[in-house]
Structure 1
């Protein structure tokens, strides 16, 4: 059986990752591709438990502790969801994956890159995404969108603008450093314009007509 393809969507707050993941999943299913839609942190029964711990109100995690919890959730996510789906020939589309740890806990919160690289080698290994779509918006635009959702601000949204500018710079640096895996997509336009760019990237990089 042919292995499935693994696609991740990345970006800062308000970039539109969840919406674009769902639109891409629908487009893939429309052409007959079996797809598993997932997310991080979470994406499997035990990883969702870790997500609840990470997002619990009133808990102030140290950056390294937070990175370790994300790594633990990711290890479970890979074993319970991602690798089995790929082995069965399904495609997997995830809202966030390991680049989020590099951006948020690394560039945003100061965990050394070598520490995160070591965690990534231990947890992800050769299960890196086939394609990563980085949805790029100016930090102030993304924050305004996120805060306009009416769901209450999370602790990342409450951080100052410089934090979010570091996130954006980190994602752009990742895209520049790994052009064979990453596509930087201008996500400032309307939902359909961004969805069109996402589909075009998938068509070009993975050879599927959408």
Structure 2
């Protein structure tokens, strides 16, 4: 496909939203058409599934949680992401397959390989061209959340051990795919992080329309 698929990953509170907006602004100013989206919740159906999977009261079986994320992802890729890439646009997305591998595979202890295979099946094997992993110690990310949140979703509210497993899984995947995944220390200055991201994707950019 002629477009470019960029994803931002990392634990809660690492600054994905900030870096996504800075990246989108930079790309737009350079003349690119950019689609900004997220998972879960990047489509009309996804908004309904997001409310269920992140804000439902009461327990949810881990396998059910993983399947809801996969259902959201299948619809999102088919209706939003793949059409944009086929049009030659740039997709900047908050969370994708790597998050499911980390949160459900490692965090929920369902098995990273199994959860990854489920997502690959749901998306017909679509992987990002570039993934930016914003890495931060879970203790520090929790402090950031505490200063910015009045309400936590089901995953944000999990204990420290859960978030440590998530971080370890992200870093393990990055070690396996260094050609796709750029690891950036999320404790660095915002401008430094933005520069590192731009440098990584510069050579991947399509010509502006």
Q: TM-score range by the shorter chain?
A: over 0.9
C-alpha deviation, 1:208, in angstroms: 6.9
Which residue of 2 is the match for residue 121 of structure 1?
A: 120
Contact 1:42–1:74 (Cα < 8 Å) also in 2: no
Contact 1:9–1:135 (Cα < 8 Å) also in 2: yes
C-alpha deviation, 1:176, in angstroms: 0.3
CA–CA distance in 2 between the matches of 1:56 and 1:141? 24
Contact 1:202–1:208 (Cα < 8 Å) also in 2: no
CA–CA distance in 1 between the matches of 2:114 and 2:198? 34
CA–CA distance in 2 between the matches of 1:131 and 1:102? 17
Which residue of 1 is the match for residue 168 of structure 2?
A: 169
The worse-fitting range, judged by mean Cα deviation, of 48-57 and 103-112 is 48-57
Contact 1:107–1:167 (Cα < 8 Å) also in 2: yes
Q: What is the root-mean-square deviation in Å for CA atoms of aligned residues?
A: 1.6
Contact 2:100–2:116 (Cα < 8 Å) also in 1: no
The worse-fitting range, judged by mean Cα deviation, of 8-17 and 186-195 is 186-195
Contact 2:55–2:154 (Cα < 8 Å) also in 1: no
Which residue of 1 is the match for residue 184 of structure 2?
A: 185
Q: Write out per-residue CA displacement over residues 165-202 of structure 1, whole angstroms, 9 at most, x where no aligned residue.
A: 11111111111001111111111022222212221221
Count of equivalent residues: 207
Which residue of 2 is the match for residue 48 of structure 1?
A: 47
C-alpha deviation, 1:145, in angstroms: 0.6
C-alpha deviation, 1:80, in angstroms: 1.1
CA–CA distance in 1 between the matches of 2:84 and 2:190? 28
CA–CA distance in 2 between the matches of 1:132 and 1:102? 14
Residue 26 of structure 2 is aligned to residue 27 of structure 1? yes
Q: Which runs of 4+ in 1 moved over 6 A?
A: none
Q: Write out per-residue CA displacement over residues 122-143 of structure 1, whole angstroms, 9 at most, x where no aligned residue.
A: 1123321011100011111111
CA–CA distance in 2 between the matches of 1:147 and 1:80? 35
The worse-fitting range, judged by mean Cα deviation, of 89-98 and 114-123 is 114-123
CA–CA distance in 2 between the matches of 1:50 and 1:136? 27
Residue 63 of structure 2 is aligned to residue 64 of structure 1? yes
CA–CA distance in 1 between the matches of 2:111 and 2:167? 18
CA–CA distance in 1 between the matches of 2:194 and 2:117? 34
Contact 1:147–1:153 (Cα < 8 Å) also in 2: no
Q: Which runs of 5+ in 2 are unaligned?
A: none
Which residue of 2 is the match for residue 153 of structure 1?
A: 152
Which residue of 2 is the match for residue 9 of structure 1?
A: 8
C-alpha deviation, 1:60, in angstroms: 1.6
Residues 86-125 of structure 1 correspond to what in structure 2 (within 5 A)?
A: 86-125=85-124
**What secondary structure sits across from 2:148 in the alignment?**
coil
Residue 72 of structure 2 is aligned to residue 38 of structure 1? no
Q: Write out per-residue CA displacement over residues 115-162 of structure 1, whole angstroms, 9 at most, x where no aligned residue.
A: 213312311233210111000111111111112113322232322211
